[in-house]
Structure 1
């Protein structure tokens, strides 16, 4: 279920907002490059265009959702739930659509996805759904962009509960945790530039 169904940077939910020391920033950049190989291509040109190395970043923490954000010049770039992987906001993903691996749900799953529901295997396995081929299989725990049949931009960002080969084999159950989707409160906060001044 989406983390951001009752989330507002304006309602005093922020527990801290601090400039990140350069030594800590190096560790964050290294982790991002490991998680998203596309950021590392051409000596990290893509990461440099998103977050220039010589520029500072702010870490904004929300205690209620146990989520923190990397904010650059008032724009939330990535979020992290507890100590999980860094995940891009959908606004960032729409600018850089090949940042993360993609899966696709069929048309019938769209309304459930946009209501914040987790993703069931059948929505990925019907004619309109798509998983990567077995030679490009993704393991459980992989962060993915969730595309939808006949739509151009990602509708959601999630984490695989099972590997893609296992999803194909079993064919049932909840297989992707839907963490951030179009229309949720994080999407609206980013659209309203609610992180400005952070």
Structure 2
């Protein structure tokens, strides 16, 4: 989604009202309950919250000009990898095998065999539509964030097709644009 993204793609940036800020905070806590102890560090109440609007109805939440999470249309909030690296336990982990590395790092979606392969696959049980972090075999930190297109039960049963739609990956445009403004 952000493969060719750059700061010049941002059409507008607006500071949001406190009611919108509370709604984003509530949505993030509802979606990622593990963030409850650190939500004040991520979205400080006294810090202005800015939403940058981009093409294709994508919005990026900025705190002190640093991207924190993104949303496409009315989809789920997806944290940036920078936020995820600060709080790695905030969301479920999916580990792909070594054979999927070059494809995922290139921004490709994750296929079922990459998660079910005996040498690398490791999955937490999640439902379709959940936002997950994608780790690669032999790596400690997440390399991508995506949205499940199948539940883990469906992945184990079918073992073919796309199971995670990759939204944000290391070294994509959003990663390289670490500061807006």
TM value normalised by structure 1: 0.88
Q: Distance in 1 between matches of 2:172 and 2:74?
A: 22
Q: How much does 1:66 deviate? A: 2.3
Q: How much does 1:55 deviate? A: 2.2
Instruction: Work out which of the residue numbers 21, 29, 35 in structure 2 matches 1:33.
Output: 29
Q: Which consecutive residues of structure 2, in runs of 5 or more, have no partner in the other structure? A: none
Alignment map for 1:13-52 (pairs within 5 Å) = 13-40=9-36, 45-52=37-44
Q: How much does 1:54 deviate? A: 2.7
Instruction: Work out which of the residue numbers 151, 168, 176 in structure 1 matches 2:139.
Output: 151
Instruction: Work out which of the residue numbers 47, 51, 63 in structure 2 matches 1:55.
Output: 47
Give 2:2's aligned residue.
Answer: 4
Q: How much does 1:121 deviate? A: 0.4
The 8 Å contact of residues 25 and 43 in structure 2, kept in 1 or not, is answered as no
CA RMSD of aligned residues (A): 1.0
Instruction: Work out which of the residue numbers 129, 140, 161 in structure 1 matches 2:121.
Output: 129
Q: Which consecutive residues of structure 1, in runs of 5 or more, have no partner in the other structure? A: none
Q: Distance in 1 between matches of 2:57 and 2:149?
A: 20
Deviation string, structure 1 residues 65-105 (Cα, Å, up to 9, x no partner)? 42111100011001101111111111111111111111100
Alignment map for 1:1-198 (pairs within 5 Å) = 3-9=1-7, 11=8, 13-40=9-36, 45-63=37-55, 65-126=56-117, 127-132=119-124, 137-190=125-178, 193=179, 195=180, 197=181
TM value normalised by structure 2: 0.96
Q: Distance in 1 between matches of 2:2 and 2:22?
A: 28
Aligned residues: 180
Q: Distance in 2 between matches of 1:186 and 1:30?
A: 24
Q: Distance in 1 between matches of 2:21 and 2:42?
A: 14
